[in-house]
Amino acid sequence: MAYIVYKRKKTRTIPLGDGWWGVGEKTLSEDQKIYPFQVETSDKEIEDLYERIDRTRYADPLEDGKFHYGFNSTYLKKVVSYWRHEFDWKKQVAVLNKYPHFKTKIEGLDVHFIHVRPPHRENQKVLPIMIVHGWPGSFYEFYKILPLLTQSRDGVVFEVICPSIPGYGFSEASHKQGFNSLAAARIFLKLMERLGFSQFYLQGGDWGSLITTNMAQMKPQCVNGLHLNMCMSNSGFKVLLSLLIGPYLPFLVGLSREDVRRLFPFFEKNVFEMLRESGYFHIQATKPDTAGCGVNDSPVGLAAWILEKFSSWADMKNRDLEDGGLERKFSLDDLLTNVMIYWTTGSITSSMRFYKENLGSNLNNRVDFKTEIFVPTGFAAFPNELMYCPKSWAQIRYRNLQSYTFMPRGGHFAAFEEPQLLADDLFNFVKKVEKS
């Protein structure tokens, strides 16, 4: 999920507003209690999965097609064989439950989140932080970074709240049209308030970067800092000028040598490459329910739809490999656990609708794209991210950019691929903010 928006007249904050996404009319009162939740499974659920897998009809791949036509069916059979005969869903459910899960009702929806507190130690500063996933990920993306964030560094440690976006995984999907990132941001702000946090940090990538940015725009007084690993930049005269002059005289337009290396040739790296990778984007932003019918009914279809993204979005060069390079950065257990979160909750279609709700109208008319961000912001620029955003571009929208790091490796799924690198950059950013 990546795009560039056009520069518009800016405002400073977004009104919080209110909403109702539950069934029928809004109720007069809402249960504000927080309830413990556990991920569960059953033999019946697993047997149904196996029966569907066993009935799969595969398409023959093209000779030497690799991953250029999507998920190669020869390798897909190997993944599915592992899923059917070796993957232990009950064991993975126990892994999911190692952190405390909760649900609470907000704006008519059951919102799922995990809440991880650090071990108690004397003389440490505990900072609350919400981290938000994107598509086709889930809260499980953060399971490798959670131990790093909840371990004290130089007296600083995080208390982590990690929600599922409504319509993803264990968070209830909206029953009404129009549930976009602004609605998700408002719900997550209400969640933090319900948990008793008046000051906190935010971190996000993919949709999570937009949702956390919206949170910072709605309640900047509550957000101590915003850390992103994906940046949605504005275009306009400054960007256009840097594209024209940047390859030849980068210093005149605020570009570094590393910017030039990552950004140019611009059309090949940022236009043609995105056209090759954005077919899913147009489908989900226009007719998500049509595609959803197929992938919600077929576990193998779902796995192919989701896992292809973990291949190419980790590194576009993976398309040149017979196995898509999937197991270079991820284990099949981790990848299939993420797929199973979508499968067992039947949430793939509602997750895809999030594209249509956010992109179904002109982005330039949305209030958040007219609103600059003034909270302290840090950006971790991973080299294999889908679209590259130079520091000078990020500063157009994020007016208080306190850190910008060229990450040495990694792609779109930063916390899943490179948890140590992301944790290091997040701690460095927060320590800088805390000292200022």
- Inter-helix orientation angle 73-85/299-312, to 10°: 120
Q: Is residue 67 very low, low, confident or very high in pLDDT (cuts 50, 70, 90)?
A: very high
Provide the pLDDT for residue 232: 79
Distance CA 332, CA 81 (A): 11
CATH value of 34-230+269-379+395-434 in 3.40.605.10, 3.40.50.1820, 3.90.79.10, 3.40.50.1950: 3.40.50.1820
- Residues 100-122, mean pLDDT to the nearest whole number: 96
CB atoms within 10 A of CB 323: 17
Contact 161, 133 (CB under 8 A): no
Q: Which of 47-51, 130-134, 203-207, 231-235 has the lowest mean pLDDT?
A: 231-235
3 is catalytic: no
- Residues 20-32, mean pLDDT to the nearest whole number: 93
Q: Is residue 93 very low, low, confident or very high in pLDDT (cuts 50, 70, 90)?
A: very high
Whether residue 7 has pLDDT greater than 70? no
- Residues 294-314, mean pLDDT to the nearest whole number: 98
Whether residue 213 has pLDDT greater than 70? yes
Catalytic residue selected from 75, 355, 398, 404: 355
Whether residue 233 has pLDDT greater than 80? no
Token output for 100: 């405390």
Provide the pLDDT for residue 317: 96
Whether residue 9 has pLDDT greater than 70? no
- Residues 351-357, mean pLDDT to the nearest whole number: 98
- Residues 161-183, mean pLDDT to the nearest whole number: 98
43 is catalytic: no
Pairing of strands 5-6, 234-235: parallel
pTM: 0.95
Mark 253-269 as b/e (b = at least 16 C-beta within 10 Å). bbbbeebeebbbeeeee
Distance CA 416, CA 339 (A): 14
Provide the pLDDT for residue 73: 97
Token output for 366: 């949305």
- Residues 240-245, mean pLDDT to the nearest whole number: 87
CA quadruple 244, 245, 248, 253: dihedral sign: negative
Query: For residue 287, which amino acid is it?
Result: K
Give first-to-last CA distance, the chain, whole Å.
33
For the chain, the domains span 34-230+269-379+395-434
Whether residue 241 has pLDDT greater than 50? yes
69 is catalytic: no
Whether residue 2 has pLDDT greater than 70? no
Mean pLDDT (the chain, rounded) = 94
Token output for 157: 């440690």
Q: Is residue 1 very low, low, confident or very high in pLDDT (cuts 50, 70, 90)?
A: low
Provide the pLDDT for residue 362: 76
Give Cα 46 distance to the centre of its chain: 27
Q: Is residue 200 very low, low, confident or very high in pLDDT (cuts 50, 70, 90)?
A: very high
For 392-423, the pLDDT digits (tens) are 999 999 999 999 999 999 999 999 999 999 99
Catalytic residue selected from 201, 206, 315, 398: 206
Q: Is residue 364 very low, low, confident or very high in pLDDT (cuts 50, 70, 90)?
A: confident
Provide the pLDDT for residue 4: 38
